[in-house]
Amino acid sequence: MLKGNRSIERRIVNSLLGYTLFIIALLWMFQIILLKSYYQIMQKASIMQAGNQILNSFTDSDFETQLEHICFSHGMSCVVVDSKGEDCYSIDMLGRGSLIHSPAKATVGKMIEPIVNGDKEEIVVQVKNKRFRNDELIYAHSISDINGDKFIVILNASLDPVESTTGILKSQLRIIVALLIVVAYIMSKFVAKRLSQPIKNITQKAKGLATGEYTADYEGGGVTEIDELAQALNFSAEGLSKVEDLRREIVANISHDLKTPLTMIKAYAEMIRDLTGDNKKNRDLQLDVIITEADRLTGLVTDLIQISRDENETRRLSPEVFNLSKMISDITIRFEQTNPDYTIEICAEPDKLVFADKESIGQVLYNLISNAINYTGVDKTVKIALKEVSQKWVRVEIKDSGLGISKEELPLIWERYYRSRNTHQRAVAGSGLGLSIVKKALSQQNLPFGVKSEVQKGSCFWFEVTTMDQKQ
């Protein structure tokens, strides 16, 4: 198996670790880098809120208590000054960092001048505390009491997040980072194993297909896509196993079919040489056997050549006009010569011209008549009919009186290498190729064909060809 960066395991580990690092970077950015800006926004909102609360409670009798509470809960310092600039209330929650309670108080005085002058009602400004080099926020708002006397509420908040908070966040983040990386690594290893292990098993077993090992049972490990792959391989292995069985059977059949006539030919030839001598009658009989067996061999080899030719290339059809009646009688004569004890009856109009590929029609007729002779009944009769069925078509029927073909077998006989298990009238040495050649030749020309058969009564194979009249 190919390993390295392209393996499922490595890819999953890399992706999950990459994703984890992205989350960590995001956390780091928000928690550490953007913490200050975030804190400043929050502090602005908080100082405004505290200001509003103070203004709302200004006229309350327990204002001082409420002021302390508000300053404490917001962590801010506050002074309320009267129109002369005197402090009426003063709460310091920032200690040394409080600008409004430090010697820099004068700077604040300048800032709130627009309020003192009555130009503005409220200001919120950011100031640098030079002493501690930190940023602070000043909020000021004018207000009058019930007597109409003017006051200014001044609030002071720090804009720098508390150092210890940042420190806590940083150490927390370090733990989270370590945990996330470990968990991501373990998880990715686990997931990768769950996915890759069944694939590795399947690959290992699939290698056996090349060496003819079709019995392996492929399992997908409960992952849908891999289950489907395993199922497809199980089907393929099953199919390959059937093909392999069929191949063995065919090789055995064909070897047997080739060997039987060869043994007969050899035996009869030896008989003529060693025993028959000049006995002409016996010699002719034995030579007839040799000729018949040689014919069988020729038929078998012709079928095999035809099949392999069909497999390798599709022969180009060359339709032409020819005399089908004459073709039937010529082929029949050949069969009569080789099967003198058989009767072949022809019922056909003379000189029926048709338009088709002559060579393949000859082959079809030859195979169908040969089958009819091979499988016909004790009367040893085959009937051939040629009739017009429409303006366009003429039909050829080849009938025998044999055992017929059962309904279950009818669709199978056209398959290559199919041979019925039934015993026939004659010991038939067939290859199971004849009808598949017929089917191929007729389908290639889009010609209709078929068979009607009744068990114990016989079969009638038929096909149709375009009449000449139609083509003119």
Task: State the residues that interact with ligand ADP by CB under 6 A.
Answer: 371-372, 375, 400, 402, 405, 413, 418-420, 430-436, 459
CB 430, min distance to ligand ADP, A: 2
| Closer residue to ligand ADP in complex, CB, 282/425 | 425
Q: How far is the CB of 304 from ligand ADP (least distance, A)?
A: 11
Sequence length of the chain is 472
Single-letter residue type at 151: F
Alpha-carbon span 335 to 384, nearest angstrom: 13
Nearer CB in complex with ligand ADP: 141/419: 419
Q: Name the residue nearer to ligand ADP (CB basis): 136 or 303.
A: 303
Q: Are 166 and 32 in contact (CB under 8 A)?
A: yes
**Structure tokens belonging to residue 47:** 């100082």
Annotate 28-46 with DSSP letters as a single string: HIIIIISHHHHHHHHHHHH
- 100 vs 437 by CB, closer to ligand ADP: 437
Nearer to ligand ADP, 92 or 409 (CB): 409
The minimum distance between CB 346 and ligand ADP, in angstroms, equals 17
According to DSSP, the residues that pair with 462 across neighbouring strands are: 397, 450
> Residue-wise over 347-367: b if at least 16 C-beta within 10 A, else e?
ebeeebbbbbbbebbbbbbbb
Given a contact cutoff of 8 angstroms between Cβ atoms, the answer to whether 374 and 428 are in contact is yes
**CA pair distance 266, 269, nearest whole angstrom:** 5
Q: Which is nearer to ligand ADP, 158 or 371 (CB)?
A: 371
Angle at 211 between CA 205 and CA 216, to 5 degrees: 30
Query: Least distance in Å: CB of 378 to ligand ADP?
Result: 14
What's the closest the beta carbon of residue 443 comes to ligand ADP, in angstroms?
15
For the bound state, the minimum distance from the C-beta of residue 276 to ligand ADP, rounded and expressed in Å, comes to 32
State both tokens at 418: 């199919």
Q: How far is the CB of 452 from ligand ADP (least distance, A)?
A: 11
Measured distance CA(444)–CA(357) in Å, rounded? 10
Tracing tokens 């996330």 back to the chain, one arrives at 180
The CB-of-196 to ligand ADP minimum distance in angstroms stands at 49
CB nearer to ligand ADP: pick between 36 and 416: 416
Nearer to ligand ADP, 39 or 366 (CB): 366
Q: Give the dihedral sign, CA 85/90/92/93.
A: negative
Token readout for 55 is: 């203004």
Smallest separation (angstroms) from ligand ADP to the CB of 396: 14
Smallest gap from Cβ 386 to ligand ADP, in A, equals: 18
Q: Between 155 and 413, whose beta carbon lies closer to ligand ADP? A: 413
> Residue 70: CB partners within 8 Å, gap ≥ 6?
50, 53, 54, 57, 78
276/363 with CB nearer ligand ADP: 363
Smallest separation (angstroms) from ligand ADP to the CB of 310: 14
CA distance 20 to 31: 16
With 0-12 / 13-18 / 19 or more C-beta atoms within 10 angstroms meaning exposed / middle / buried, residue 456 is: exposed
Q: Which of 153, 125, 123 is nearest to 137 (CA)?
A: 125
Angle of helix 358-375 relative to helix 434-444, nearest 10 degrees, comes to 150
Report the alpha-carbon distance of residue 439 to residue 225 in Å, rounded.
Answer: 40
- For 28, residues 6+ apart whose C-beta sits below 8 A from its C-beta are 173
Q: Which is nearer to ligand ADP, 383 or 419 (CB)?
A: 419
107 in helix, strand or coil?
helix
Please identify the residue of the shown chain whose CB is closest to the bound ligand ADP. 430
